[in-house]
Amino acid sequence: MYSKTGSVKNGDKVIILEHGKRWERVRNEKGEEGWLQDRYLVGEDVFRGFQQLNRDGRYRVLFFLNVTPPQCPDSDETFYDDDGWGLNALFVREIGAGLPVVSAHDAFLHRRPSQMPGWSGHSFGNTNVVKADVLFSYLRDRVFPSALPPQTRTSAVAQ
């Protein structure tokens, strides 16, 4: 049982006041305090560190976001399009400010949750196929062409 004491939106900054087992007591910019699951909190220093490694050229960093859309509350057969306001959009915006980002989120909008076992947690089967297809398509189309030397071809025509 809980009572709502305030609200935060994706991207809002909060101060962590207390660490729990899976929950953090936080204060938002309005001074409201409450508890959030730790999986919804991300430290800026993590992303900024990876962005710096990428800028320095020390590593080629690509983030694959394993964030699926929520299921529609009215239907077992439809994912909900959060229209750029969900957790995925926040990650794309924040991480993508200095790193290449690819996300499987939108690929799930064309699927049914009933066909995607484990889509909201530890996925398997069809769900992993969708995610792998998104990642490998991105690598094929955007990473490999610039990372590999151009192919040289020889003609089979006799000289």
pLDDT single digits (tens) 23-44: 888 898 889 888 888 877 877 7
13: pLDDT strictly greater than 70: yes
pLDDT of 67-104, one tens digit each? 888 888 887 788 888 777 787 888 888 788 778 889 98
The burial class, CB within 10 Å (0-12 / 13-18 / 19+), for 126 is middle
Average pLDDT over residues 3-17: 77
Identify the H or E element spanning 128: helix 126-138
Report the pLDDT averaged over residues 32-61: 82
pLDDT at 134: 92
Mean pLDDT across the stretch 127-148?
85
> 100, 80 in Cβ contact below 8 A?
no
- CA 70 vs. chain centroid, Å, equals 13
Is pTM beyond 0.85? Reply is no
Which regions of the chain does DSSP assign to beta strands (E)? 14-19, 23-28, 33-37, 63-65, 101-103
Domain boundaries, the chain: 1-41, 44-138
What is the residue-wise DSSP string for 45-75?
Answer: HHHHHHHHHHHHTSS---EEE--PPPBPTT-
- Quick check: helix, strand or coil at residue 158? coil
> What residues pair up with 27 in beta bridges, in sequence order?
15, 33
Between 25 and 119, the higher pLDDT residue: 25
Residue 87 corresponds to which tokens in the numbers above?
């957790």
